[in-house]
Structure 1
């Protein structure tokens, strides 16, 4: 990171940004072409989980290249000034690099989906997914290889 004065390295602060985010963006690469989309996700403090339909561009890209970049953010706002060149931004972001693996085991798949549901339920009970409910979806687990945060404003 170029601006070391803005870097966040405290793991609890980084996890807090992830836990408070309502969406993450995943960056993938298909041959030489980037592909970025928003995702709903879950985080258990070690791994990040997301789900997908069984087919689609994201699934095809992940089959060929499972290296991913995830971005999480909070507290985003523009700080205006008299001249647009003097504007700045307030933000808190986390970027994760890792590898995504397809979760096949039914127990692990239910766990991953449970992490996603729990992220959006904030303190609710773990939903008991049935085998029939999890059959039509894919679940991916991202193993974190690098995590870095940045704060401004």
Structure 2
């Protein structure tokens, strides 16, 4: 059975999932890339080193975001959102966003010595002194969801 997720299901899925994909478009190029994220009920928060994704979102802040939970090809849920990229520059807001991301990502890592592959440490106040760490939020303005259940 195919169907649409209701608002409560969409919110739940966004709060549970740790990885989604950002779609951005600038200069005639469309780029889709996976990101770790956290959703607080209003905005999506993520981080990145400077690169193509950040350059494109700075040029055109209108983005699309997609996340899904797939059990198999007949049992899945998917959410698509649209919103605006906004870089977080205020230090207090940066630390707050970083702590949200840390709290979500670190428990999902395996092994006692596991560290994120890039961009942050277990200390939320370390928000980019070693490298240019860019924290940003996607201010959502539309959300839809679909599912298939066997």
| Fold shared per TM-score above 0.5 | yes
CA drift at 1:90: 2.2
**Unmatched runs of 5 consecutive residues or more in structure 2:** 108-121
Give the count of matched residue pairs: 131
State the distance in 2 between where 1:68 and 1:115 align.
21
Q: Do 1:110 and 1:129's aligned partners in 2 also have CA atoms closer than 8 Å? A: yes
TM-score using structure 2 length: 0.80
Deviations 1:3-55 (A, max 9, x none): xx611122x211111122131001011222210010001111111001011x2
Residue among 51, 59, 66 paired with 1:56 = 51
Q: Quote the residue 1:151 is aligned against.
A: 147
Please say if 1:24 is aligned against 2:20: yes
CA drift at 1:119: 2.0
Q: Do 1:20 and 1:74's aligned partners in 2 also have CA atoms closer than 8 Å? A: no
Task: Output aligned runs, 1:1-153, within 5 Å.
Answer: 6-10=3-7, 12-53=8-49, 55-78=50-73, 89-121=74-106, 128-130=123-125, 133-135=126-128, 136-153=132-149
Q: Whose helix proportion is higher, 1 or 2?
A: 1
CA drift at 1:121: 4.6
Q: Do 1:8 and 1:151's aligned partners in 2 also have CA atoms closer than 8 Å? A: yes
Deviations 1:67-112 (A, max 9, x none): 111111113412xxxxxxxxxx321011110001000000001111
State the distance in 2 between where 1:128 and 1:37 align.
26
TM-score using structure 1 length: 0.78
**Unmatched runs of 5 consecutive residues or more in structure 1:** 79-88
